[in-house]
Amino acid sequence: MQKKTLAIIGAGVWGTALANLAAGNGHRVRVWSRRCSETLEDVVAGAEIVLSAVSMRGVGAVISQVQSLPVSSNTIFVTVTKGLDPQTTRTPSQMWQAAFPVAPVVVLAGPNLSKEIEQGLPAATVVASKDLAAAATVQAVFSSSSFRVYTNSDPLGVELGGTLKNVMAIAAGVCDGLDLGTNAKAALLTRGLAEIIRIGTNWGAQTETFYGLSGLGDLLATCNSALSRNYQVGYQLAKGQTLQAILAQLEGTAEGVSTTPVLIQRADQQGIYVPISYLVNRLLQGEITPQSAVEALMLRDVKPESKPLAD
């Protein structure tokens, strides 16, 4: 394909890994962070693809900055942030689309532990957009012999899969930190996926998306790896550490910590039953112990499984 010019906003491990993938394919890549000597305007100028790899708390500010710049109407915006805006409960792609209503917005998400990507280990991801041509362009930019990229037409589902599994990863870390065993972990992840589907379809995503790479795939990767920051939060909480101490030691942001209360807020508003997320939220707020959270899950009323969306 014709070589593209990319502006990657955010120089963390994931933004850097994606920059290296695109550069390895011969594309022109410029990376910007708050510590960068170049201005954001210089980095974005002439970029055909602008990729946002900032944490959720920085998304709004970055969008405002980019809005003030002379960006081409043909620019493709890509977001890899996983979270929910606490003010509006919007996803990052919804925020970018609201700011640039006629521009194509693409979501990139999947079972992608950035340290493994940097090591060149094989992985796969999904790029999703209502604009399939834009998704195909992004697919070509990042595809390599070790990084397989699929397209999808359900950006909300792809984004929510990557966002909501962070909440489940905290629960999975607790499960392992308490040494509850493989049976308990399997039950947790199965019911966690059902909860993610219940939330996602209520918000308008497609059920089948959550059985793909950005749903089930990301859930399995994040809930089974010590490389996951969200998993580490749950694991260390189960070992008796305080949330404040855990977050101070983490390399990067555990987005599930800030996602969980926003998810609960919206679930309460819309009457969505989210027992696992609810207990993770209480745990993060210091209202219950990890042991009490497990007991509360196990003592819920018995019911038939019947279908994936059953409570």
Q: How many CA atoms lie within 13 A of 209 on its CB side?
A: 29
The residue-averaged pLDDT of 110-119 equals 94
Give the C-alpha separation, 95 to 105, whole Å.
10
165 is catalytic: yes
- Which two tokens mark 179? 């040494």
Which of 115, 165, 239, 303 is flagged as catalytic?
Answer: 165
CATH architecture classification, 156-298: Orthogonal Bundle (1.10)
At residue 307, the pLDDT reads: 56
The residue-averaged pLDDT of 280-304 equals 87
Indicate the class that CATH gives domain 5-153.
Answer: alpha beta
Residue-range domain boundaries for the chain: 5-153, 156-298
Q: Assign 297 a pLDDT band (cuts: 50, 70, 90).
A: confident
Cross-strand bridge partners of residue 105: 77
Give the C-alpha separation, 6 to 27, whole Å.
7
Percentage with pLDDT > 70 across the chain: 96
Residue of 111, 73, 59 whose CA lies nearest to 258:
59
Cross-strand bridge partners of residue 8: 31, 51
Q: Where are the alpha helices (DSSP H) in the chain?
A: 13-24, 40-44, 56-67, 92-99, 114-118, 132-142, 155-177, 182-202, 218-223, 229-238, 243-249, 255-270, 275-284, 290-298
What single DSSP character describes residue 211? G
pLDDT reading at 306 higher than 90: no
